[in-house]
């Protein structure tokens, strides 16, 4: 890995081919600098753009506003009792066993496995050619679809059996990814006080909003960047207010009287995720005992200037 500063700015869109300074990639390579860029993956993850926006607004009990269709499978493997922790750890290390904010999740059931090996078998327990009964553990773990291959490889490599018995089940439950975020203010605020609070927390000089049917704001939904397609989801979730950006005129009409709809600006609702990015990258680098330095970008790439007469 590079020992030079790691630069990242997911909010600034750079056309690498038409950059007026040209040869940006060449300059980065010559300086041995790594460029990290994230967009949609940062929008739809727990702890991503919308979750950080919710934290800046001091919301409690934050969760996804809408959850994506399940992207998980259940992995079931049958394990000798003495090997269950070793195999479970291998699965966890490969990325299995994650449910929301919890890691290393599994379920274990005691049972009896049976087998009879042929003359060509090489059983770890018992003898070939004989019908055997072995006390085993049924180990169940959730695995994201994209991690299935690496998790199964880790499981097989750590398993003592010559032939590993396992099952994969498709799931239709709640996934680990979604859009937007929703949470509660610690104390309800009047609409006037809430608007002041939003302006202060997001450092937004001005923003657009529409009238709400409620005088008090408690439950708040957010979506960093352009999230107007989630307005109905925020209303269905009984949010008192929904903060996002790039809202069209007719969307304000549709929301009027149903929810306090606030267009706080694309930049203003996304920039806060840099703090979490820096923290996670720092933790990752520290785990590898690397001396790469990370500097958070403290300037502004917002192209919008507000005109005040």
pLDDT of residue 117: 87
pLDDT of residue 21: 47
Burial (CB < 10 A; 0-12, 13-18, 19+), residue 133, is: exposed
CB atoms within 10 A of CB 231: 22
Helix 148-158 with 84-93: angle, nearest 10 deg: 150
Instruction: Please provide the distance, in angstroms rounded to a whole number, between the alpha carbons at the two ends of the chain.
Output: 52
Q: What does the block give as tokens for 100? A: 């929301």
Q: Which strand (E) or helix (H) includes residue 62? A: strand 60-67
Q: Domains in the chain and their CATH numbers?
A: 1-37+274-302 (no CATH), 43-68+177-270 (3.40.1390.30), 72-170 (3.30.70.120)
pLDDT of residue 1: 33
Q: What is each CA distance from 130 to 38, 115, 123, 136, in whole angstroms?
A: 56, 8, 10, 18
List Cβ neighbours of 191 (8 Å cut-off, separation of 6 or more): 212, 214, 215, 216, 217, 260
pLDDT of residue 122: 85
Low-confidence ranges of the chain (pLDDT < 70): 1-22
pLDDT of residue 283: 85
CA angle, 74 then 94 then 70, to 5°: 35
Q: What does the block give as tokens for 281? A: 């990258």
Cα–Cα distance, 109 to 296 (Å, whole number): 47
Edge-to-edge strand ranges of the sheet holding 72-80: 107-116, 131-144, 72-80, 166-170
Cα–Cα distance, 278 to 298 (Å, whole number): 12
Cα–Cα distance, 34 to 25 (Å, whole number): 10
Instruction: Classify 47 in phi/psi space as left (phi over 0), alpha (psi -120 to 50) or beta.
Output: left
Summary count for the chain: helices (H), strands (E): 10, 12
Cα–Cα distance, 72 to 144 (Å, whole number): 4
């Amino acid at each position: 890995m590079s020992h030079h500063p790691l630069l990242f700015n997911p909010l600034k869109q750079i056309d690498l081919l038409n950059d007026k300074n040209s040869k940006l990639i060449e300059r980065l390579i010559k300086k041995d600098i790594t460029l990290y860029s994230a967009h949609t993956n940062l929008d739809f993850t727990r702890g991503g753009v919308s979750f950080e926006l919710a934290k800046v607004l001091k919301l409690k009990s934050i969760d996804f506003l809408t959850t994506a269709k399940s992207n998980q499978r259940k992995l079931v493997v049958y394990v000798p009792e003495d090997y269950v922790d070793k195999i479970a750890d291998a699965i966890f290390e490969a990325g299995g066993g994650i449910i929301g904010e919890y890691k290393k999740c599994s379920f274990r059931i005691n049972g009896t496995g049976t087998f009879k090996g042929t003359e060509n078998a090489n059983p770890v327990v018992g003898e070939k050619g004989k019908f055997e009964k072995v006390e085993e553990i049924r180990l169940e773990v959730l695995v994201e679809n994209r991690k299935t291959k690496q998790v199964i490889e880790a499981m097989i490599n750590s398993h003592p059996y010559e032939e590993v018995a396992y099952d994969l089940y498709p799931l239709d439950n709640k996934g680990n990814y979604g859009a937007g975020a929703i949470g509660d203010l610690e104390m309800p605020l009047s609409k006037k006080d809430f608007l002041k609070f939003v302006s202060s927390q997001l450092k937004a000089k001005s923003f657009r909003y529409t009238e709400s049917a409620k005088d008090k704001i408690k439950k708040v939904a957010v979506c960093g960047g352009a999230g107007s397609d989630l307005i109905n989801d925020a209303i269905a979730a009984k949010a008192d207010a929904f903060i996002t950006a790039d809202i069209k005129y007719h969307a304000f009409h549709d929301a009027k009287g149903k929810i306090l709809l606030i267009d706080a600006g694309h930049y203003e609702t996304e920039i806060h995720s840099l703090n979490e990015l820096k923290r996670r990258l720092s933790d990752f680098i520290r785990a590898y005992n690397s001396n790469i330095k990370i500097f958070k970008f403290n300037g502004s790439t917002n192209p919008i200037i507000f005109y005040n007469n």
